[in-house]
Amino acid sequence: MRLLNVVHQYPPEHAGGTELYTRSTSLELARSGHEVSIFYRRDAPGFGLEHRDDQGVDLWAAWHGVASPTRRFLTTFGDPDLAGAFERVLDTSRPDLVHIQHLMGLPVQLIGLVRRRRIPLVVTLHDYWWVCSNAQLLTNFGQQLCGGPRAWLNCGRCALARAGFDSLWPGAPALVPFLAIRARMLRDVLLSAGRVIAPTHFVRDWYAAHGIPSGRLQVLPHGIEPPSTPSPASRPGGILRIACIGGLSPSKGVHILVEAIKGLAGRAELWIAGDESADPSYSRALRARAGDNVRFLGALAHQQVWECLGQVDILAVPSLWYETFSLIAHEAFAARVPVVASKSGALAEVVRDEIDGLLIPPGDVAAWQSALLRLINEAGLLDQLRSGVRPPMDLSEHVRRLAGAYAEVAVRNGGMTIG
């Protein structure tokens, strides 16, 4: 089967959960005998389209200038150059099915090109971007959790704050027509897809509550490529080793953890791994707050992530937004490492409280410190949680189920038989 993944960005320039998922599943599909291509946007001056190979996967990188947040938002409404580049990729790859991983910074025109060719379409919901242009349901003006659009007035204020004009928030009503059009366009995409995949029940239920018929939504957890030699750590000298791995941004709540570990010097140490260049001001603030028992590891390659997990006692995921899956939490489970996480979003579904981890109220520094003290002081608690860890779905099983979903959509679309 010829498959085309569409994603907003891609490694090595960007290595977030969506990008890593797209790469790992594409490589596994290619190993399974499918012909796989990926179309994505990268930031670069001017306009162009570049092709390269990634272990048997055809990569097509299109660029049309460096995209600011405002430009990404506006591109949703149209970009003839990027649409033209995508049409060239369709001509070359001739896909039997197109899988939209993310459309941020890409024009919805791409979907019209897919429809005109009657190519089956699948969409995966990696975040809340299809309803919330901020993608994470956190307000730009207060970093507070948002329940979704309220006549798009709150969305207008968020858009102004993201562009650096929060003081102009009384002008939010002027943006409502654009936000309403955006909402209708993206809803139409989801309604036209043969399958809309949610990685957790939380995400499925959230989208169902925001207007996507539940019958169109399928829950399919992401797959994890397990480490070759998982090795749970033992605490040297009784020190609790905690890893926090992933994006360094306020929404990830790393500052909560930095505050919580203060006063635990000699009893616990925190290892923070992530790209500090993604949000330099936030990273500087973390370093300024950190005590001597906090180590900054920088960005880790995938193998280094496994090596890090093999040397720590727990993984901490203190997110303030509603995580949709948390690849790193599942990777920790694959390495038999318990997870302490915020009790919100998909994390409350992923982590079984008091069985394979602990769930903590998001943003509550005192509660996080109390949980860490329990792990230090309660004899046997860490071993109990470790023994409760179950391996997550592996990548090959995920891809097998994903290919099954592709086949069902393709057959419904036009009677195609997939080998």
Q: Tens digit of pLDDT for each residue in 126-155? A: 999 999 988 888 887 777 888 888 888 888
What pLDDT score was predicted for residue 155?
Answer: 85
Question: Residue 292: is it exposed, middle or buried by C-beta count within 10 angstroms (0-12/13-18/19+)?
Answer: exposed
Our CA angle for 294, 18, 192, nearest 5°, is: 155
**Taking 70 as the threshold, does the pLDDT of residue 235 lie above it?**
no
What pLDDT score was predicted for residue 145?
Answer: 87
- Tokens found for residue 84: 């033209």
For residue 47, give Cα distances in angstroms to 36, 61, 64, 225: 24, 11, 4, 36
Q: How far apart are CA 416 and CA 418, in angstroms?
A: 6
The rounded mean pLDDT for the chain is 92
Question: Residue 242: is it exposed, middle or buried by C-beta count within 10 angstroms (0-12/13-18/19+)?
Answer: buried
Q: How far apart are CA 318 and CA 8, in angstroms?
A: 26
**Taking 60 as the threshold, does the pLDDT of residue 232 lie above it?**
no
Statement: the pTM of the whole predicted model exceeds 0.75? yes
Q: How far apart are CA 331 and CA 395, in angstroms?
A: 11
What pLDDT score was predicted for residue 346?
Answer: 96
Average pLDDT over residues 31-57: 96
What pLDDT score was predicted for residue 312?
Answer: 95
Q: CA 366, 368, 374, 375: dihedral to nearest 10 degrees? A: -150
Residues 7, 99 contacting (CB under 8 angstroms): no
Residue 233 — pLDDT band, cuts 50, 70, 90?
A: low
DSSP state of 36: E
- Tokens found for residue 127: 């975040």
For residue 314, give Cα distances in angstroms to 234, 242, 292, 353, 357: 11, 5, 19, 14, 8
β-pairing, 57-65 with 44-54?
antiparallel
Residue 30 — pLDDT band, cuts 50, 70, 90?
A: very high
Partners of 98 in the β-ladder:
4, 121
What pLDDT score was predicted for residue 162?
Answer: 76
Cα dihedral sign, 15-21-23-24: positive
For residue 96, give Cα distances in angstroms to 197, 271, 399, 407: 18, 45, 17, 10
Average pLDDT over residues 203-232: 87
What pLDDT score was predicted for residue 418?
Answer: 40
Residues 110, 83 contacting (CB under 8 angstroms): yes
What pLDDT score was predicted for residue 230?
Answer: 52
Average pLDDT over residues 369-395: 95
Q: Which residue has the tokens 């085309």?
A: 4
CA count, 13 A, side-chain hemisphere, 414: 10
Q: Which domains does the chain have, with CATH numbers?
A: 2-224+395-414 (3.40.50.2000), 236-387 (3.40.50.2000)
**Taking 80 as the threshold, does the pLDDT of residue 100 lie above it?**
yes
**Taking 80 as the threshold, does the pLDDT of residue 345 lie above it?**
yes
SS3 173: helix
